């Protein structure tokens, strides 16, 4: 659960890796650290900090966002494992998971989107549920969705793929094209999830509506009810967009993932045919030209990954360097804000599935 900041003044030499540095004692404009804060991770950072200041302010209540994210995935893993075993949905656990996830996203949406797009959790269904929820809540924050809609949106996003538990795993993992019968079976999953949750009781109608209708399309080509336009609820239209973006950027048994930038381009092409076009445009604005998780090449030849964006400088996101200009992997991936480093810029977004990058990225991320 998010807590109010608890600031403490700490000398540079007393820093440890568990500390969140939220402010420096200097007013140096070109200091090489994020103004929003960072976790101290290396001795190299001490040397850089020592050039600018003698002490820093830390927040003792700031949780490691990555640990928080992975804990949420673990909790959802338990939920889905229990459901696979035929147990009932634990409403209390779901509410606690959602509360922690909501507070994390609303407090630090950029970092949570970045972590979600890394997909460190092994279970595809868990990763799908959590990633779509993070994307949906971050988007809700961007469009200032009213508070009363956040809980049903978050719960609906967390539970939206639950009907897939009723689909045989051999169909979901099939590499060759599905038969007409198999496609029809897969398309039943929103209905199966809806009726299963209806029996569980305790969930509001807006949450159930998302589970049932997130695969509907504004032109009536979706399923299971072939709803059109505003027959689809506003919250279901949001999850329709975020779930497709998640699917496009995830490796699947039948195809490789698109880069985040290419996935946004695809959504943009589909915006009038399949989705609420205004919501698609706002969703793209919320993630930026180079969305979190996007692999990019810099003008130096170095590779980097985007982890946050600027609303007013979409071509200059915040990145973490992955390699030197000679493509030698870096052990310490320190953050760089391209809006503040004029000599660096992005040349292009890259496809991580390209053979020349795939082995290198596996080495970096292993």
Q: What is the rounded distance in angstroms from the CA atom of residue 77 to the CA atom of residue 72?
A: 9
Domain match, 46 and 163 both: no
For 68, residues 6+ apart whose C-beta sits below 8 A from its C-beta are 100, 104
**What is the chain's pLDDT, residue by residue, as a tens digit (366 residues)?**
445 566 778 887 777 655 667 666 654 444 444 444 555 555 556 666 666 677 877 776 665 677 888 889 999 999 999 999 999 999 999 999 999 999 889 888 888 898 898 777 667 899 999 999 999 999 999 999 999 999 999 999 999 999 999 999 899 888 899 999 999 999 999 999 999 999 998 999 999 999 999 999 999 999 999 999 999 999 999 999 999 999 999 888 778 888 888 899 899 999 999 999 999 999 998 888 888 888 889 999 999 988 888 877 777 889 988 888 988 888 767 789 998 888 888 988 887 666 666 666 666 655
Query: Does the residue 24 lie in any domain?
Result: yes
pLDDT of residue 20: 67
Exposure of 303 in the CB half-sphere (CA atoms within 13 A): 20
Report the candidate in 125, 157, 126 with the shortest Cα–Cα distance to residue 140. 157
The predicted pLDDT at position 30 comes to: 42
Does the residue 1 lie in any domain? Answer: no
Owning domain of residue 217: 65-287
Query: Whose CA is closest to 157, among 184, 139, 142?
Result: 139
Are residue 111 and residue 252 in the same domain, yes or no? yes
User: pLDDT value at position 48?
Assistant: 64
Q: Same structural domain for residues 276 and 359?
A: no
- pLDDT reported for residue 42: 55
User: What's the angle, vertex CA 326, arms to CA 322 and CA 332, rounded to 5?
Assistant: 30
Specify whether the CB–CB gap between 133 and 101 falls below 8 A: yes
Residue 122 burial (10 A CB sphere; 0-12, 13-18, 19+): exposed
How crowded is residue 67: how many other Cβ atoms within 10 Å of its Cβ?
Answer: 9
Do both 245 and 149 map to the same domain?
Answer: yes
Determine, yes or no, domain membership for 183. yes
State how beta strands 295-298 and 346-349 pair.
Answer: antiparallel
Same domain, 207 and 79: yes
Clarify whether residues 69 and 196 are in a common domain.
Answer: yes
Q: Are residues 243 and 99 in the same domain?
A: yes
End residue of a domain, out of 287, 310, 330: 287
| pLDDT score of 31 | 44
Q: Are residues 73 and 39 in the same domain?
A: no
Residue 189 confidence (pLDDT): 97
131 within some domain: yes
The alpha helices in the chain, defined as continuous H runs, are: 43-52, 65-84, 91-107, 109-118, 124-142, 147-159, 169-172, 180-186, 189-200, 205-213, 234-248, 260-269, 277-287, 355-365
CA dist 321 and 133 (Å) reads 27
Residue 107 · residue 2 · CB < 8 Å: yes
Task: State whether 55 and 69 are in the same domain.
Answer: no
| Residue at a domain's end among 287, 314, 346 | 287
Domain boundary among 17, 40, 59: 59
| Number of folded domains that form the chain | 3
Report how far Cα 104 is from the mean position of its chain's Cα atoms. 12
Domain CATH number, residue 234: 1.10.3210.10
Same domain, 156 and 225: yes
The pair of three-digit structure tokens given for residue 280, joined into one six-digit string: 């698609």
**pLDDT for res 1:** 44
Q: What burial class does residue 119 get, using C-beta atoms within 10 Å of its C-beta: 0-12 exposed, 13-18 middle, 19+ buried?
A: buried
2 within some domain: no
Could you tell me if 226 and 142 lie in one domain? yes
Q: What pLDDT, on the 0 to 100 scale, is given for residue 149? A: 96
**How much is the pLDDT for 34?**
43
Q: What is the pLDDT of residue 291?
A: 86
Nearest CA to 123 among 65, 166, 188, 79? 79
> Which residues, 6 or more positions from 318, have their beta carbon under 8 angstroms from its beta carbon?
34, 110, 306, 307, 308, 309, 310, 335, 336, 337, 338, 339
The C-alpha atoms of residue 332 and residue 321 are separated, in whole angstroms, by 8
Question: Omega into 231 within 30° of 0, i.e. cis?
Answer: no
Q: CA-CA distance, 313 to 119, in Å (whole number)?
A: 26
* Predicted pLDDT of residue 352: 67
Q: Are residues 74 and 149 in the same domain?
A: yes
The tokens describing 230, both together, are 């505003």
The half-sphere exposure of 323 on its side-chain side, counting CA atoms within 13 A, is 21
């Amino acid at each position: 659960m998010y807590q109010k900041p608890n600031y403490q003044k700490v000398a540079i030499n007393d820093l440890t890796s568990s500390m969140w540095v939220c402010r420096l004692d200097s007013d140096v404009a070109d200091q090489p650290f994020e103004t929003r804060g960072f976790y101290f991770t290396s001795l190299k950072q001490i040397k850089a900090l020592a050039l600018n200041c003698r002490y820093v302010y830390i927040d003792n209540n700031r949780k490691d966002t990555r640990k928080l994210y992975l804990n949420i995935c673990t909790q959802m893993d338990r939920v889905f494992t229990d459901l696979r075993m035929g147990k009932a949905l634990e409403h209390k656990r779901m509410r606690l998971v959602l509360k922690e996830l909501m507070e994390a996203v609303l407090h630090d949406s950029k970092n949570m989107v970045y972590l979600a797009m890394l997909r460190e959790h092994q279970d595809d269904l868990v990763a799908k549920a959590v990633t779509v929820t993070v994307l949906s809540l971050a988007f809700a924050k961007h469009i200032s969705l009213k508070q009363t809609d956040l809980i049903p949106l978050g719960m609906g996003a967390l539970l939206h793929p639950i009907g897939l538990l009723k689909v045989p795993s051999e169909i979901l993992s099939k590499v060759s094209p599905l038969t007409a019968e198999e496609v029809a079976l897969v398309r039943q999953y929103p209905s199966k999830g809806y009726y299963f949750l209806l029996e569980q009781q305790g969930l509001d109608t807006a949450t159930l509506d998302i589970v049932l209708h997130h695969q509907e399309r504004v032109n009536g080509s979706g399923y299971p009810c072939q709803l059109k336009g505003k027959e689809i609820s506003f919250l279901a239209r949001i999850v329709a967009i975020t779930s497709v973006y998640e699917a496009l950027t995830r490796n699947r048994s039948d195809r490789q993932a698109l880069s985040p930038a290419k996935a946004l381009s695809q959504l943009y092409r589909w915006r009038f045919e399949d989705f609420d076009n205004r919501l698609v445009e706002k969703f793209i604005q919320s993630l930026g030209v180079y969305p979190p998780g996007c692999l990019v090449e810099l003008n130096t030849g170095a590779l980097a990954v985007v982890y946050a964006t600027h609303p007013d400088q979409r071509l200059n996101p915040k990145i973490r360097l992955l390699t030197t200009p000679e493509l030698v992997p870096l052990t310490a991936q320190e953050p760089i804000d391209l809006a503040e480093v004029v000599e660096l810029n992005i040349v292009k977004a890259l496809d991580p599935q390209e053979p020349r990058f795939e082995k290198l990225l596996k080495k970096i991320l292993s």
